[in-house]
Homo-oligomer: A and B are copies of this chain.
Protein backbone atom coordinates (compact mmCIF):
# COMPACT_ATOMS: atom_id res chain seq x y z
CA UNK A 1 0.00 0.00 0.00
CA UNK A 2 1.51 3.32 -1.10
CA UNK A 3 1.72 6.05 1.49
CA UNK A 4 3.14 9.50 0.97
CA UNK A 5 2.86 13.05 2.22
CA UNK A 6 2.73 15.99 -0.19
CA UNK A 7 3.64 19.38 1.27
CA UNK A 8 1.09 21.64 -0.41
CA UNK A 9 1.76 24.78 1.62
CA UNK A 10 4.57 25.18 4.15
CA UNK A 11 4.37 28.84 5.26
CA UNK A 12 3.04 29.90 8.61
CA UNK A 13 0.73 32.87 9.23
CA UNK A 14 1.72 34.82 6.11
CA UNK A 15 2.47 33.40 2.66
CA UNK A 16 5.80 34.16 1.02
CA UNK A 17 6.87 34.11 -2.60
CA UNK A 18 8.27 30.64 -1.94
CA UNK A 19 5.65 29.15 0.36
CA UNK A 20 1.88 29.04 0.41
CA UNK A 21 -0.23 28.80 3.56
CA UNK A 22 -0.64 25.53 5.50
CA UNK A 23 -1.91 22.44 3.72
CA UNK A 24 -0.54 18.90 3.73
CA UNK A 25 -1.93 16.05 1.67
CA UNK A 26 -1.57 12.47 2.85
CA UNK A 27 -2.16 9.87 0.16
CA UNK A 28 -2.68 6.24 1.08
CA UNK A 29 -3.65 3.88 -1.69
CA UNK A 30 -6.47 5.71 -3.46
CA UNK A 31 -7.37 7.86 -0.44
CA UNK A 32 -6.39 11.50 -0.14
CA UNK A 33 -6.58 13.28 3.18
CA UNK A 34 -5.93 17.00 3.34
CA UNK A 35 -4.69 18.42 6.64
CA UNK A 36 -5.49 22.14 6.93
CA UNK A 37 -6.48 24.29 3.99
CA UNK A 38 -4.89 27.74 4.01
CA UNK A 39 -5.64 30.43 1.45
CA UNK A 40 -4.33 29.33 -1.93
CA UNK A 41 -4.59 25.57 -1.37
CA UNK A 42 -6.79 24.90 -4.38
CA UNK A 43 -4.29 26.60 -6.66
CA UNK A 44 -1.34 24.83 -5.04
CA UNK A 45 -3.03 21.53 -5.81
CA UNK A 46 -3.72 22.67 -9.38
CA UNK A 47 -0.06 23.61 -9.72
CA UNK A 48 1.17 20.22 -8.52
CA UNK A 49 -0.85 17.01 -8.68
CA UNK A 50 -4.02 18.60 -10.04
CA UNK A 51 -7.14 19.48 -8.10
CA UNK A 52 -7.95 15.95 -6.96
CA UNK A 53 -11.37 15.09 -5.62
CA UNK A 54 -10.22 14.46 -2.11
CA UNK A 55 -12.73 12.97 0.31
CA UNK A 56 -11.51 14.26 3.66
CA UNK A 57 -10.22 17.48 5.11
CA UNK A 58 -8.86 17.61 8.66
CA UNK A 59 -8.53 21.00 10.32
CA UNK A 60 -6.12 21.38 13.21
CA UNK A 61 -7.66 24.66 14.39
CA UNK A 62 -9.58 27.62 13.08
CA UNK A 63 -7.01 30.37 12.68
CA UNK A 64 -7.44 32.06 9.31
CA UNK A 65 -4.14 30.92 7.84
CA UNK A 66 -5.24 27.28 8.25
CA UNK A 67 -8.81 27.46 6.98
CA UNK A 68 -9.33 30.35 4.55
CA UNK A 69 -8.75 28.17 1.50
CA UNK A 70 -11.77 26.02 2.27
CA UNK A 71 -14.65 28.14 0.93
CA UNK A 72 -12.90 28.53 -2.43
CA UNK A 73 -12.01 24.85 -2.62
CA UNK A 74 -15.58 23.83 -1.89
CA UNK A 75 -16.95 26.32 -4.44
CA UNK A 76 -14.57 25.03 -7.08
CA UNK A 77 -15.57 21.41 -6.43
CA UNK A 78 -19.15 22.56 -6.80
CA UNK A 79 -18.51 24.42 -10.07
CA UNK A 80 -16.99 21.24 -11.45
CA UNK A 81 -20.19 19.39 -10.65
CA UNK A 82 -18.83 17.27 -7.84
CA UNK A 83 -21.28 14.67 -6.56
CA UNK A 84 -19.28 12.75 -3.94
CA UNK A 85 -19.66 13.95 -0.36
CA UNK A 86 -16.78 15.88 1.19
CA UNK A 87 -16.15 15.37 4.88
CA UNK A 88 -14.48 18.08 6.92
CA UNK A 89 -13.18 17.05 10.32
CA UNK A 90 -12.07 19.42 13.01
CA UNK A 91 -12.09 20.22 16.69
CA UNK A 92 -15.31 21.24 18.42
CA UNK A 93 -16.37 24.57 16.94
CA UNK A 94 -16.28 23.23 13.39
CA UNK A 95 -20.01 23.72 12.95
CA UNK A 96 -19.60 27.37 14.00
CA UNK A 97 -16.87 27.89 11.43
CA UNK A 98 -19.11 26.55 8.70
CA UNK A 99 -21.96 28.76 9.86
CA UNK A 100 -19.56 31.64 9.14
CA UNK A 101 -18.53 30.11 5.82
CA UNK A 102 -22.10 29.36 4.72
CA UNK A 103 -22.87 32.64 2.92
CA UNK A 104 -19.43 32.50 1.25
CA UNK A 105 -19.96 28.97 0.01
CA UNK A 106 -23.65 29.07 -0.84
CA UNK A 107 -25.44 25.88 -1.78
CA UNK A 108 -23.49 22.88 -2.99
CA UNK A 109 -24.68 20.10 -5.25
CA UNK A 110 -22.81 17.59 -3.10
CA UNK A 111 -23.07 16.76 0.57
CA UNK A 112 -20.73 18.64 2.87
CA UNK A 113 -20.34 16.58 6.01
CA UNK A 114 -18.94 18.08 9.19
CA UNK A 115 -17.43 15.81 11.81
CA UNK A 116 -16.22 17.27 15.08
CA UNK A 117 -13.46 15.23 16.66
CA UNK A 118 -12.60 15.79 20.27
CA UNK A 119 -9.32 14.98 22.00
CA UNK A 120 -8.88 11.22 21.98
CA UNK A 121 -11.49 10.54 19.29
CA UNK A 122 -10.52 8.10 16.60
CA UNK A 123 -11.80 7.42 13.13
CA UNK A 124 -11.57 3.80 12.08
CA UNK A 125 -10.73 3.34 8.44
CA UNK A 126 -9.93 0.32 6.35
CA UNK A 127 -6.42 -0.61 7.46
CA UNK A 128 -5.70 2.45 9.58
CA UNK A 129 -7.15 4.86 12.07
CA UNK A 130 -6.85 8.58 12.60
CA UNK A 131 -6.61 9.82 16.16
CA UNK A 132 -7.12 13.45 17.21
CA UNK A 133 -5.03 14.71 20.13
CA UNK A 134 -4.79 18.06 21.87
CA UNK A 135 -1.80 20.25 21.20
CA UNK A 136 -0.68 23.37 23.04
CA UNK A 137 -1.56 26.45 20.98
CA UNK A 138 -3.63 28.62 23.31
CA UNK A 139 -6.66 28.35 21.05
CA UNK A 140 -8.42 25.01 20.75
CA UNK A 141 -6.10 23.11 18.44
CA UNK A 142 -5.33 19.49 17.76
CA UNK A 143 -2.98 17.28 15.85
CA UNK A 144 -3.74 14.06 14.03
CA UNK A 145 -2.01 10.69 14.01
CA UNK A 146 -2.55 8.32 11.13
CA UNK A 147 -1.80 4.86 12.46
CA UNK A 148 -1.87 1.80 10.26
CA UNK A 149 -2.94 -1.56 11.61
CA UNK A 150 -0.18 -4.05 12.13
CA UNK A 151 -0.12 -6.44 9.19
CA UNK A 152 -0.15 -10.22 9.71
CA UNK A 153 3.26 -11.84 9.69
CA UNK A 154 4.71 -13.55 6.65
CA UNK A 155 2.93 -16.74 5.65
CA UNK A 156 5.25 -19.74 5.69
CA UNK A 157 3.94 -21.76 2.77
CA UNK A 158 6.24 -24.74 3.16
CA UNK A 159 5.43 -25.03 6.86
CA UNK A 160 1.72 -25.00 5.96
CA UNK A 161 2.27 -27.82 3.45
CA UNK A 162 4.19 -29.76 6.09
CA UNK A 163 1.13 -29.43 8.34
CA UNK A 164 -0.90 -30.94 5.50
CA UNK A 165 -2.81 -27.79 4.56
CA UNK A 166 -3.77 -27.77 0.89
CA UNK A 167 -2.85 -24.69 -1.16
CA UNK A 168 -6.00 -22.74 -2.04
CA UNK A 169 -8.77 -21.27 0.15
CA UNK A 170 -7.26 -22.78 3.32
CA UNK A 171 -4.03 -20.82 2.76
CA UNK A 172 -6.14 -17.67 2.60
CA UNK A 173 -7.93 -18.56 5.85
CA UNK A 174 -4.66 -18.98 7.70
CA UNK A 175 -3.30 -15.73 6.25
CA UNK A 176 -6.40 -13.91 7.51
CA UNK A 177 -5.85 -15.35 10.98
CA UNK A 178 -8.41 -18.17 10.91
CA UNK A 179 -7.60 -21.72 12.01
CA UNK A 180 -7.86 -24.59 9.50
CA UNK A 181 -8.69 -27.79 11.33
CA UNK A 182 -6.08 -28.12 14.04
CA UNK A 183 -3.60 -25.84 12.33
CA UNK A 184 -3.54 -22.39 13.93
CA UNK A 185 -2.35 -19.22 12.20
CA UNK A 186 0.44 -18.85 14.75
CA UNK A 187 2.01 -22.05 13.41
CA UNK A 188 2.39 -20.69 9.86
CA UNK A 189 2.60 -16.90 10.26
CA UNK A 190 5.70 -14.94 11.28
CA UNK A 191 5.49 -12.12 13.83
CA UNK A 192 3.01 -9.33 13.01
CA UNK A 193 4.62 -6.57 10.95
CA UNK A 194 4.23 -2.98 12.14
CA UNK A 195 2.10 -0.57 10.18
CA UNK A 196 3.25 2.98 9.53
CA UNK A 197 2.52 6.03 11.63
CA UNK A 198 2.41 9.65 10.48
CA UNK A 199 1.78 12.42 12.98
CA UNK A 200 0.89 16.02 12.06
CA UNK A 201 0.87 18.59 14.84
CA UNK A 202 -0.56 21.75 13.35
CA UNK A 203 0.43 24.80 15.41
CA UNK A 204 1.77 24.01 18.84
CA UNK A 205 4.31 24.82 21.51
CA UNK A 206 6.48 21.83 22.46
CA UNK A 207 4.13 19.36 24.08
CA UNK A 208 4.79 16.16 26.00
CA UNK A 209 1.55 14.80 24.64
CA UNK A 210 2.75 15.35 21.08
CA UNK A 211 5.96 13.49 21.92
CA UNK A 212 3.94 10.61 23.40
CA UNK A 213 1.62 10.34 20.41
CA UNK A 214 4.52 10.66 17.98
CA UNK A 215 6.55 7.94 19.69
CA UNK A 216 8.29 5.91 16.98
CA UNK A 217 6.24 7.57 14.24
CA UNK A 218 7.77 7.02 10.82
CA UNK A 219 7.22 10.67 10.06
CA UNK A 220 6.49 13.58 12.36
CA UNK A 221 5.31 16.76 10.62
CA UNK A 222 5.92 19.42 13.25
CA UNK A 223 5.63 23.18 13.07
CA UNK A 224 8.73 25.38 13.43
CA UNK A 225 7.44 28.92 13.28
CA UNK A 226 10.53 30.38 14.98
CA UNK A 227 14.19 29.72 15.61
CA UNK A 228 15.82 29.87 19.04
CA UNK A 229 16.69 33.54 18.61
CA UNK A 230 12.95 34.20 19.03
CA UNK A 231 12.30 31.55 21.70
CA UNK A 232 10.43 34.00 23.92
CA UNK A 233 8.11 35.04 21.17
CA UNK A 234 7.53 31.35 20.37
CA UNK A 235 6.53 30.69 23.96
CA UNK A 236 4.21 33.71 24.08
CA UNK A 237 2.40 32.73 20.90
CA UNK A 238 2.39 28.97 21.69
CA UNK A 239 4.52 28.03 18.74
CA UNK A 240 7.77 26.04 18.53
CA UNK A 241 11.31 26.80 17.56
CA UNK A 242 13.12 24.53 15.12
CA UNK A 243 15.39 23.36 17.94
CA UNK A 244 12.41 22.47 20.14
CA UNK A 245 10.83 20.49 17.31
CA UNK A 246 14.14 18.66 16.81
CA UNK A 247 14.50 17.87 20.52
CA UNK A 248 10.95 16.54 20.60
CA UNK A 249 11.59 14.36 17.55
CA UNK A 250 14.66 12.92 19.26
CA UNK A 251 12.70 12.19 22.47
CA UNK A 252 9.96 10.58 20.46
CA UNK A 253 12.44 8.47 18.47
CA UNK A 254 10.68 9.23 15.20
CA UNK A 255 12.03 8.06 11.86
CA UNK A 256 11.98 11.45 10.16
CA UNK A 257 11.05 14.98 11.17
CA UNK A 258 9.58 17.38 8.60
CA UNK A 259 9.35 21.03 9.64
CA UNK A 260 6.54 23.21 8.34
CA UNK A 261 4.72 26.48 9.16
CA UNK A 262 7.87 28.38 8.32
CA UNK A 263 8.44 32.08 8.51
CA UNK A 264 10.22 33.84 5.63
CA UNK A 265 12.25 35.76 8.23
CA UNK A 266 14.73 32.90 8.71
CA UNK A 267 17.01 31.38 6.08
CA UNK A 268 15.93 27.77 5.53
CA UNK A 269 19.45 26.58 6.27
CA UNK A 270 19.31 28.14 9.73
CA UNK A 271 16.02 26.42 10.54
CA UNK A 272 17.31 23.08 9.31
CA UNK A 273 20.62 23.28 11.12
CA UNK A 274 19.03 24.28 14.39
CA UNK A 275 16.74 21.24 14.28
CA UNK A 276 19.46 18.89 13.01
CA UNK A 277 21.63 19.74 15.99
CA UNK A 278 18.92 17.95 18.00
CA UNK A 279 17.71 15.38 15.50
CA UNK A 280 19.74 14.48 12.45
CA UNK A 281 17.02 13.14 10.16
CA UNK A 282 15.24 16.49 9.83
CA UNK A 283 14.01 17.88 6.54
CA UNK A 284 12.55 21.28 5.68
CA UNK A 285 10.32 20.59 2.70
CA UNK A 286 9.54 23.17 0.09
CA UNK A 287 6.04 23.43 -1.30
CA UNK A 288 5.34 20.45 -3.59
CA UNK A 289 8.06 18.29 -1.99
CA UNK A 290 6.97 14.80 -1.04
CA UNK A 291 7.91 12.26 1.59
CA UNK A 292 7.38 8.67 0.55
CA UNK A 293 6.86 6.12 3.30
CA UNK A 294 7.63 2.60 2.15
CA UNK A 295 6.52 -0.36 4.24
CA UNK A 296 8.99 -0.49 7.15
CA UNK A 297 10.58 -3.74 5.97
CA UNK A 298 11.21 -2.15 2.57
CA UNK A 299 13.06 0.99 3.56
CA UNK A 300 13.14 4.36 5.26
CA UNK A 301 11.01 7.45 4.57
CA UNK A 302 12.49 9.34 1.62
CA UNK A 303 12.33 13.06 0.85
CA UNK A 304 11.65 13.74 -2.82
CA UNK A 305 12.29 17.30 -3.90
CA UNK A 306 10.03 18.86 -6.48
CA UNK A 307 12.81 21.15 -7.64
CA UNK A 308 16.56 21.25 -7.35
CA UNK A 309 17.38 22.67 -3.96
CA UNK A 310 18.27 26.34 -3.84
CA UNK A 311 21.96 26.30 -2.89
CA UNK A 312 21.51 29.59 -1.04
CA UNK A 313 19.06 28.11 1.43
Residue of A21, A40, A46, A80 with most partner-chain B CB within 10 A: A40
Name the distance in Å between A158's Cβ and chain B's nearest Cβ. Answer: 54
B71 touches A75 (CB 8 A): no
Identify A79's interface contact among B14, B16, B43, B104, CB under 8 A: B14
Closest to A96 in B: B103
CA distance A76 to B264 in the complex (A): 13
Chain B interface: which of A62-70, A107-115, A250-258, A293-301? A62-70
Identify A75's interface contact among B16, B17, B43, B64, CB under 8 A: B64
Does A15 belong to the interface (CB within 8 Å)? yes
| Copies of this chain assembled into the complex | 2
Q: Contacts A65-B72, A104-B68: A43 and B40 contacting too (C-beta < 8 A)?
A: yes
Does A13 belong to the interface (CB within 8 Å)? yes
Cβ contacts under 8 Å, A47 to chain B: 17
For A12-29 the 0/1 string (1 means CB < 8 A from B) is 011111001100000000
Does A312 belong to the interface (CB within 8 Å)? no
Name the distance in Å between A237's Cβ and chain B's nearest Cβ. Answer: 11
Does A39 belong to the interface (CB within 8 Å)? yes
Does A260 belong to the interface (CB within 8 Å)? no
Name the distance in Å between A265's Cβ and chain B's nearest Cβ. Answer: 12
Closest to A11 in B: B43
B15 touches A46 (CB 8 A): yes
Cβ contacts under 8 Å, A86 to chain B: none
Closest to A43 in B: B15
Cβ contacts under 8 Å, A46 to chain B: 15-17
B68 touches A64 (CB 8 A): no
Cβ contacts under 8 Å, A20 to chain B: 43
Name the distance in Å between A141's Cβ and chain B's nearest Cβ. Answer: 16
Q: Contacts A39-B42, A39-B69, A43-B20: A14 and B76 contacting too (C-beta < 8 A)?
A: yes
CA distance A103 to B15 in the complex (A): 20
Cβ contacts under 8 Å, A65 to chain B: 72, 75
Does A194 belong to the interface (CB within 8 Å)? no
Cβ contacts under 8 Å, A71 to chain B: 64, 68
Which chain A residues have a beta carbon within 8 Å of chain B's beta carbons? 13-17, 20-21, 39-40, 42-43, 46-47, 64-65, 68-69, 71-72, 75-76, 79-80, 100, 103-106
